[in-house]
Amino acid sequence: MIDRELRVPGTPTEQGYIGLALVVGTGLSTSCVALLHASRTQFSAIEAIYVFTPVIVSIALVVAGTLLWTTQFGGREMLRIGTAVFLGMTVFGLLITWTITHEFIRGGSVAHAPFVTVNSMTVGAFVGLVLGWLDARNRRYETTLRQERNKFKRQTEELDEFAAIVSHDLRNPLNVATLNSSVRRRRPAERRLKRSKMLKNLSPEWRQSSRTCWRWPGKVTLSVTSPQPRLRR
């Protein structure tokens, strides 16, 4: 996977174009090299399948990269995908180059070295595309999950704060004013206005309910029941 702290200057749109250029450039370059090698080589109908395989894979690479850029991912994510494609092509190319060099030193034939190299680089680019796509998708999922957790945390804090407000004695105007001031300091303007309206609408009802409860307490009968005779007297 790509380093999580990849930092590239530019806006997200510019980063997306860089990533798309890496994907499309890799696909076009490998397909052009494969076609050039095919034009210089005589091969049978069966061999044509192996010759044109990197061309087909390169076209699929370009189409897939373009679709990812236009439908799913943003600039930073596309840049990571493009970097993964380029790294995959480079790593596979270096590995196959090392293998061909080893065969050449041992006296083996290197007649098909360009074809083998292009095939390996194309496969590496496509593997990089798949890994980059999986990495970008996982990062998007983690980002969405983190945002949901933060949203849930904020809602929990608001509920706790509202419960604390309700638990106070709202019959006292000083307490209401103090709580409103606290809300204004903690919350943004839109939330402050919403919370203040809520308190303003609910406070009269609570105060009226409190007055009613104190004004009409009802009848209360107190009695002491004890088996001790002296308490009865």
Residues 87-145 pLDDT 10s = 888 888 888 777 777 666 666 665 566 777 777 888 888 888 888 888 888 888 888 88
Contact predicate 23/136, CB 8 Å:
no
**pLDDT score recorded for residue 134:** 86
Average pLDDT over residues 201-229: 54
- Output the pTM of the full model: 0.53
Residues 170-184 pLDDT 10s = 555 555 566 666 656
Contact predicate 68/82, CB 8 Å:
no
Residues 43-85 pLDDT 10s = 666 667 767 777 788 888 888 877 777 776 777 777 788 888 8
- Flag whether pLDDT at 2 surpasses 50: no
Please give the Cα distance from 82 to 54 (Å, whole number). 18
